[in-house]
Amino acid sequence: MASSSFSPTQEKFDVFLSFRGEDTRNGFISHLNAALCRRKIKTFIDDELKRGDEISPFLLYAIEGSKISIVIFSKDYASSRWCLEELVKIMDCRKMHGQIVIPVFYHVNPSDIRKQTGTYGDAFANHEYRQRAEMLQIWRSALTDAANLSGFHSNVVRPESKLIEKIVEDILKRLNIMSSSYNKNLVGIAMKIQEIKFLLSIGTNGVCKVGIWGMGGIGKTTLANAVFNKISRQFEGSYFIRNVREESEKRGLIQLQEKILSTILGDEHHNIWHASTIERLRRTKVLFVFDDVTNLNQINELIGDLENLGSGSQVIITTRDKQVLVSCRVDNATIYEVEELHSDESFRLFSRHAFKENDPVDEDYMALL
């Protein structure tokens, strides 16, 4: 995502990358950004060369709209007024909104950043001729505070591929913790999510298939979506295929098949029956949710034989007909029947929609039950 196309009304980002372009843009940053994107982590990276001294307003909005900021402290990071302004904003967001800030010390000593010595001292010596003492102190404080945070050291974690891998895994863990708030407004679903995750863990090798079965409107899609949002970043590719029955009846599944394969394999013009496509799928650990399936042919048309997916792949199928799961060769032990809400959960759900609260405070309402 280029900074020039960002506006505060657009959706927010998982990660904001702050870096000195001349030091790292075409090397470390390009590889880190690519690794984050492969894991479906939405990043904001300013891919334009920074000119001038004033930080642009949309960069400030991007920082505010990100869950995590990664600051790559390189040799000449502090020589850029723009980078220092970014850092001040990032540390303000940490203080005011609890934003997570992760420093990466890229071939620099954290103490040089903390104390503004070495190349950081040289940078401030140059800034002193152009900047007010008050601004210099703000920059120094931001650098000191950021350097005191726990982060990653390129001189400790080697090679760089391993460093990037560790950063990405750390980001994934933090985002997964944050995602727990996604389900806080859903009633009676927390335990169900854990039960589905347990069923998915039963098959550690090959392809694990879990069926979610129940009558229409009972919450199968909501449950599958909650599980998908919680675990999808653990896979090399993921896709939630909504309303399979409706799509099959209205438009057919060929276009949807092309879209799925393009998303998972990263390019276009695939045919699910071509040997090269099958081989690539066999090398890819994926997560698929097939929502509202009525027969096995629909899945075959979309993605072929599920056994052709990479080892460790997981498949969730929602349906109103248990026999569909049997025909899809879902083991009976991994079929989950969605039950109705308990009476207290039903009351809480009703209250939330009717009164915008978990329990009505007016006793007159209670008397009507």
CA 136 to chain centre: 36
Cis peptide before 8 (omega within 30 of 0): no
Q: Across the chain, how many H-helices and E-strands are there?
A: 17, 10
Name the helix (H) or strand (E) containing 21. Answer: helix 21-24
**Quick check: 15 and 67 in contact, CB under 8 A?**
yes
Q: How far, rounded to the nearest angstrom, does the alpha carbon of residue 290 sit from its chain's CA centroid?
A: 20
Beta-carbon count within 10 A of 2 CB: 11
φ, ψ of residue 44 to 5 degrees: the values are -110, 120
Token pair in block for residue 174: 């933090």
Other beta carbons within 10 Å of 31: 15
Catalytic residue numbers read: 86
Smallest Cα–Cα separation from 70: which of 105, 26, 104?
Answer: 104
Strand partners, 209: 315
Residue showing tokens 């072929």 = 304
Half-sphere exposure of 138 (CA within 13 A, CB side): 15
Between the alpha carbon of residue 101 and those of residues 67, 142, 145, 147, 184, the distances in Å are 9, 12, 11, 10, 25
Residue that is written with structure tokens 């009717």 in the block? 354
Check: CB of residue 66 under 8 Å from CB of residue 12: yes
